[in-house]
Structure 1
């Protein structure tokens, strides 16, 4: 379990995706986040004292559940302050990271941060999720976006039987999975590395487009 900023940075430094260029991108993101948070409430002010643990590594740990050979599109729903979308894109610039966000000020922030970090393959879709055109993606992530059943109802159309879902869910992870009905899936809960009370729902929806039973 990661309990402080030093441990968070050490964990990240050991990741194969983390090199000098990735570190520069992450440091740019943190500096911009601190300044932007004075203008709009992107994250809680108190969490900035633990930004590596609470936001950077909390996002980056999702990569541990996605095979390194995964290519294609990583779809991040309700990206908000940029987590996990911007953090993932900083570490995996080879992926097309698509961040969906409907709030105008957050859209502007995400675009400015993406450009400053040199993330040429990342893009921001400024729209409500319901209006985003369907496409098959390789990975779906969502941090505090919606309850699991609603999230699947809104976004299963982006998924094939090979799409990997990585969904940070806090302390509600196991309960949301236990309560899930009418979906064929191979989901399970992984322990978060950054919060002893938090879980991450990981897995796939089975049978491709034929998902309900």
Structure 2
């Protein structure tokens, strides 16, 4: 089933994921916040602004088909940009979420979005390039349009454990990208079809990806709390 419009997107969220009315209202709020911010910076492609629910919100939420994050679990979203999938995951699931983003305007936007959505108690922005983010074990790692797979895995390997679930949305070349990495990395992943784009796929895996040059582990920074705004 391919989700092609807003009506179908909202129906999938409520019927398949069981998203509550209150959470749907927060997703509406995120949608409006992104559209308003798009007047000031290029968060998402302008051609997708009229199709936010299927192209960005459900495209993010569909990762939860392969994950069941709990309250005490930690989700890392690499190259969060406009907050997809990280903010959508944080609104639907109860886990802690770290949004990794290095661009100044995007960092400021994400911090405002966290406050606007009332997520400051369990979501924070790591405002730095990935290699400068302190090492800490992640239960889930996501990355949407972040980097080619070899560079993504090399950079994120130090956050993975034998139980880490990787959720990596990719385009039509997902299988080719997977074949381009070492066999030890390939064995961690399989390919799932996207629900929002017939040409897109999701690389799903469980396990620790070996890093050739693992950085020194340092304590994880405490979450920065934000005051919720209406």
Q: What residue number does 1:176 align with?
A: 177
C-alpha contact 1:17 1:91 (8 A) present in aligned 2:
no
Question: Which whole-Å deviations, capped at 9, do the CAs of 1:30-49 have from their partners, x for residues lacking one?
Answer: 11111100000101122011
Question: What's the TM-score once normalised by structure 1's chain length?
Answer: 0.93
- 8 A contact 1:74–1:137 mirrored in 2: yes
Q: Confirm whether residue 76 of structure 1 aligns to residue 77 of structure 2.
A: yes
Q: What residue in structure 1 maps to residue 34 of structure 2?
A: 33
Q: Is the 8 A contact 1:80 1:101 kept in 2?
A: yes
Deviation at 1:20, TM superposition (A): 2.0
Instruction: Name the SS of the counterpart of 1:76 in structure 2.
Output: strand
Q: Tell me, which stretches of 5 or more residues in structure 1 are unaligned?
A: none
Cα distance in 1 between the residues matched to 2:46 and 2:179? 33
Alignment of 1:24-173 (within 5 A): 24-67=25-68, 69=70, 71-92=72-93, 94-119=94-119, 120-173=121-174
Partner Cα separation in structure 1 for residue 132 and residue 172 of structure 2:
30
Distance 1:70 1:197 in 2: 33
Aligned residue for 1:183, secondary structure, equals helix
**Structure 1 counterpart of 2:198:** 196
How many residues are matched? Answer: 209
**Residues 185-207 of structure 1: per-residue CA shift (max 9 Å, x gap):** 320000000000000000123xx
CA contact (8 A) 1:70 1:138 kept: no
Quick one: distance in 1 between partners of 2:174 and 2:5? 23
| Secondary structure of residue in 1 paired with 2:188 | strand
Gaps of 5+ in 2: 213-230
Root-mean-square deviation (Å): 1.6
Rate the CA distance shift 1:139–1:51 in 2: closer, same or farther, 3 A. Answer: same
